[in-house]
Structure 1
Amino acid sequence: MREHIERHVTIVDPPSDTSIGSISLRNDINDSGSATPSLPLHRCMRTISGSKSEDHLITTESGRRIYTKGRPPWYDREGKILKQPYVVGICGGSASGKTTVARRIIERLEMPWVTVLSMDSFYKVLTEEQHHLAAKNEYNFDHPQAFDFDLMCETVRRLRDGKNVEVPVYDFTTHRRDKQPKLMYGADVLIFEGILAFHNEELVDLMDMKVFVDTDPDTRLARRLERDIQDRGRDLEGVLTQYLRFVKPAFDTFIAPGMKIADIIVPRGGENEVAIDLIVKQVKTQLAERGYDASKNPYSQRAGMVQKDLPLQLPRTLTVVPQTPQVRGLHTFIRDRRTPRDEFNFYSDRLMRILIENAMNFMPFADATVTTPTMEKFVGKRNTAQICGVTIMRAGETMEHALRAVVKDCKMGKILIQTNEKTMEPELFYLRLPKNIHRYKVLLMDATVATGAAAMMAIRVLLDHDVLEENILLLSLLMAGTGVHSLAYAFPKVNLLTTAVDPHINELYYVIPGMGNFGDRYYGTEAVAACNDSSNDEDDT
């Protein structure tokens, strides 16, 4: 069992001349990314659920960049989930500073990947009658019945399991959910904040640490007045009426009892530096006990995939396009370092088309009978599967045109995976996938596969979106033997299709003999020095 820190710890730090409380009250007001009403340019108004901490990028006062969406590998070299995130629950009254505390924790943790989930996103969809009550400030948004706790628990549970979730976006102006939910992904630390974060027992059981933010009622009222009047278009009388009728009684009845189960009680919210430091130290200690150490063996994940002794026989899940004279000829042009960019792109596109055409042989077909123009019957085949393509940006995007030329009206998705220059590990920055992708046969595309680290992360993402292993086909113009064996070992049901397999990769993780950096050559972003031939070079023979 995990160790809990002492409960009911109330920490008061000494007065300081440096007042963090002077920060704009919008640090305590949630923010999100959906359309808002037309407003003057000088005012940035928030009318929908979420929080500033849920922005994809946070820049701390020291200039450190922290991403709250995406993460480095969350699985081992066999593709299995490595660890569960550490879940911090933050509860407190309306406008008590929960979001500010969450932001301060993120800044002090100095971890590049944190996910923040706001309870405001889980308001129930209102009925017509409830809409009329809300318009007259007569609907109680602070009552537990106003929240969808079932969806809330399922969302937190999936994030703990490393899976993706679609988080609703609630518009406080129209009191409706936005049509476009936010896609969120798990991280090493998950912060869940909301006024009733400790009300549901099932939800509380999912938390590793429980923090209650205790702020003076007058301060909370002042913040709520500013937020609701300036950012939600309400009038003073309506806000005060709602506060006295619903907000204050709800705090006394449903929110304040949360202090009894809190591990730490933080007075004055984001101003309390001592309390935040204690929380951060405890989180780091718990992460260390779970095996998290960002500085320990940073090259283990990718370097571990570079196997010295590879099996002589290629895995059965690998298919190499027939090595016809045409395919070999196209490879000759593409691999030649002297091939001009326009010719390189032309021959690459031709080879991609051949690769995609071969990929169609992996799709399910059923007998189909048609009538020819001569009124005779012909028995043929029709594809019976829904197909979508997912590209690993940026080199994988070069294969989109070939796929669209073969599969009419093909749905497309994108996954941005970049290599960290310090650790040389792949890191997930962005993904956009078709809805209900688990119903599709997925063609996952990358121009080249060296160690297989980026492809492994992309496959893990698809699996976390409930795509079956056997429904994934990885396409690449060129694969290294190292990457082939690593992927086949980690995901034995994923089929691999390529036009060539090269035997080795070098210390910089380039395929040898390979074709260089495919993305740079295709898009013309090679360094000038690398493009110019040395005057001492001899002509190729």
Structure 2
Amino acid sequence: HGSLDRLLTSVSSGLSPRKRTTSQCKSEPPLLRTSKRTIYTAGRPPWYNEHGTQSKEAFVIGLCGGSASGKTTVARKIIEALDVPWVVLLSMDSFYKVLTPEQQVTAASNDYNFDHPDAFDFGLLAHTLRKLKLGKSVKIPVYDFTTHGRQKDWKTVYGASVIIFEGIMAFADKELLQLLDMKIFVETDSDIRLVRRLQRDITERGRDIDGVIKQYNKFVKPAFEQYIEPTMRLADIVVPRGGGNMVAIDLIVQHVHSQLEERKLRWDMAALASAHQAQPLPQTLSVLESTPQVRGMHTIIRNKETSRDEFIFYSKRLMRLLIERALSFLPSESHIVQTPQGEDYEGRTFHGKRITGVSILRAGETMEPALRAVCKDVRIGKILIQTNQDTGEPELHYLRLPKDIGEDHVILMDCTVSTGAAAMMAVRVLLVGDSDELHHAEPYVRVLLVGDSDGLHCVY
């Protein structure tokens, strides 16, 4: 993955965050930088229209070809030429089966056939691709070719507008073929493929030249002739010479653009907002009681003559009231304690495992001190979402959530809601994961200071 970088974002430079309140998650959205823009290959969550139904499925491109034929190069050139923000590149190499101890010994001596259909976990692969096509979040295994096993930490990937799926057996399974909207076969001369495989396996996978040649003659070449080459007839497009064939890549890109335009995989904020015009605020929205104290603080905050220090002071006071109000919606149960005088007192206690705060950057971060002030040792996560100026769509730029957040009750913090796009995307990130393991399964409470009516209808 030479052209894939890691997103290294400093959320709070210059400050030393307390260890107990920072996320322990180390996963960060991978990027693919092109000459035109930065493409977020971690994808986006699925979007829903004003009726609550999901948008159309993502467009899936299948890339098949012999080992070292240039499939990944073709995929990356397609991504760069497409110039769309949400793309997932899914490789079959991640879905090799975990080898038994006996098979690992065989693999160490280059006697295990990695180029046979039985070497792949097609069940997990089809399940993963189907979820991605529906726009759902999935976890993808990371295969270690040195140890011939899966690494402990899996990679989380969100849905996308375009999914490019590449592998030597991409057309070998009927269930996978049904998920592909476009099938491409990359054809490259066998001598060139052998040279590329030698270079890759020796430099990247720690193998010796004799072992690579032995494996090629014993398994790779026969597998290509028996399983891979016959599937060329299933392809919609055959690309000779791999990544160097820019004419074929341009034709592919033109077709994909036309398909995306027909599918209209776009975020229709106007339709969501207009669907709730002239309607009362939703019942799921709880407004802080307008007491004289609250109205007094609003008067100071909204006054154009208010100084910066006063604005910050009274905003923090109001935020603390909001956080305390939000905590009243969390589940509680009766609890009896004994007072210093030896008498029993029946009170209430939090009925849950943990409370976690998640800030929608950047404004939501200002609510963190208020949450820390009333919740001891609370864990904090952060989500950065910004609107694309060209498309109007919200884009996920940064995500860091504490581990096992699905077991927690979450306080989602954002100071302002205008269109509701960022807030809705944050909710989808928290709630819409793989159906078997959501990011967040427990109820959550959203806290905000100021909200537009249309935006509130979209979010709540």
Pairwise TM-score range, normalised by the shorter structure = 0.7 to 0.9
Q: Residues 63-103 of structure 1, C-alpha deviation per residue, up to 9 Å, x if partnerless?
A: 34433233598332455321111100111111110011111
Conserved 8 A contact 2:418-2:455: yes
The aligned counterpart of 1:9 is none
The aligned counterpart of 1:445 is 413
The aligned counterpart of 2:142 is 169
Out of 438, 452, 455, the position equivalent to 1:480 is: 452
Deviation for aligned residue 1:219:
0.5
The aligned counterpart of 1:21 is none
The aligned counterpart of 1:317 is 284
Conserved 8 A contact 1:79-1:460: no
Q: Say whether residues 1:404 and 2:377 are aligned partners.
A: no
The aligned counterpart of 1:270 is 243
Out of 278, 301, 307, the position equivalent to 1:334 is: 301
TM-score (norm 2): 0.85
For residues 128 and 331 of structure 1, do their structure 2 counterparts lie closer, same or farther at Cα, with a shift above 3 Å needed? farther
Conserved 8 A contact 2:301-2:314: yes
The aligned counterpart of 2:13 is none
Q: Residues 160-179 of structure 1, C-alpha deviation per residue, up to 9 Å, x if partnerless?
A: 11111111122222333233
Conserved 8 A contact 2:139-2:157: yes
For residues 81 and 241 of structure 1, do their structure 2 counterparts lie closer, same or farther at Cα, with a shift above 3 Å needed? same
Deviation for aligned residue 1:220:
0.7
Conserved 8 A contact 1:71-1:429: no
Q: Say whether residues 1:247 and 2:220 are aligned partners.
A: yes
Q: Residues 389-445 of structure 1, C-alpha deviation per residue, up to 9 Å, x if partnerless?
A: 222111112222322333334343322210222344322233333455444433221
Q: Say whether residues 1:57 and 2:32 are aligned partners.
A: yes
The whole-number CA distance in structure 2 between the counterparts of 1:430 and 1:337 is 34
Q: Residues 350-388 of structure 1, C-alpha deviation per residue, up to 9 Å, x if partnerless?
A: 322221111111111122222333333222222222433
Conserved 8 A contact 2:417-2:448: yes
Q: Say whether residues 1:422 and 2:397 are aligned partners.
A: no
The aligned counterpart of 1:199 is 172
The aligned counterpart of 2:343 is 376
Conserved 8 A contact 1:72-1:425: no
Identity %: 57
The SS at the match of 1:320 is coil
The SS at the match of 1:108 is helix
The aligned counterpart of 2:11 is none
Give the aligned residue type for 1:106: I
The SS at the match of 1:413 is strand
The aligned counterpart of 2:209 is 236
The whole-number CA distance in structure 1 between the counterparts of 2:245 and 2:358 is 46
The whole-number CA distance in structure 1 between the counterparts of 2:395 and 2:114 is 39
Conserved 8 A contact 1:58-1:68: no
- Equivalences for residues 358-397 of structure 1 within 5 A: 358-386=325-353, 387-397=355-365
For residues 367 and 95 of structure 1, do their structure 2 counterparts lie closer, same or farther at Cα, with a shift above 3 Å needed? same
Q: Say whether residues 1:471 and 2:451 are aligned partners.
A: no
The whole-number CA distance in structure 2 between the counterparts of 1:206 and 1:340 is 59
The aligned counterpart of 1:289 is 262
The SS at the match of 2:321 is helix
The whole-number CA distance in structure 2 between the counterparts of 1:270 and 1:290 is 27
Give the aligned residue type for 2:321: I
The SS at the match of 1:138 is coil
Deviation for aligned residue 1:144:
2.4
The whole-number CA distance in structure 2 between the counterparts of 1:79 and 1:357 is 31
The whole-number CA distance in structure 1 between the counterparts of 2:153 and 2:369 is 27
For residues 254 and 346 of structure 1, do their structure 2 counterparts lie closer, same or farther at Cα, with a shift above 3 Å needed? farther
Q: Say whether residues 1:459 and 2:427 are aligned partners.
A: yes
Out of 91, 103, 115, the position equivalent to 1:118 is: 91
- Equivalences for residues 141-220 of structure 1 within 5 A: 141-220=114-193
The SS at the match of 1:444 is strand
Higher relative contact order (CA 8 A, sep 6+): 2
Deviation for aligned residue 1:467:
6.6
Give the aligned residue type for 1:131: Q
For residues 350 and 142 of structure 1, do their structure 2 counterparts lie closer, same or farther at Cα, with a shift above 3 Å needed? farther
For residues 309 and 400 of structure 1, do their structure 2 counterparts lie closer, same or farther at Cα, with a shift above 3 Å needed? closer
| Structure 2: gaps of 5 or more residues | 8-28
The whole-number CA distance in structure 2 between the counterparts of 1:308 and 1:94 is 52
Deviation for aligned residue 1:185:
1.3
For residues 134 and 116 of structure 1, do their structure 2 counterparts lie closer, same or farther at Cα, with a shift above 3 Å needed? same
The whole-number CA distance in structure 2 between the counterparts of 1:199 and 1:123 is 14
The whole-number CA distance in structure 2 between the counterparts of 1:33 and 1:140 is 33
The whole-number CA distance in structure 2 between the counterparts of 1:470 and 1:316 is 20
Conserved 8 A contact 2:86-2:160: yes
The whole-number CA distance in structure 1 between the counterparts of 2:446 and 2:276 is 24
Give the number of aligned pairs. Answer: 434
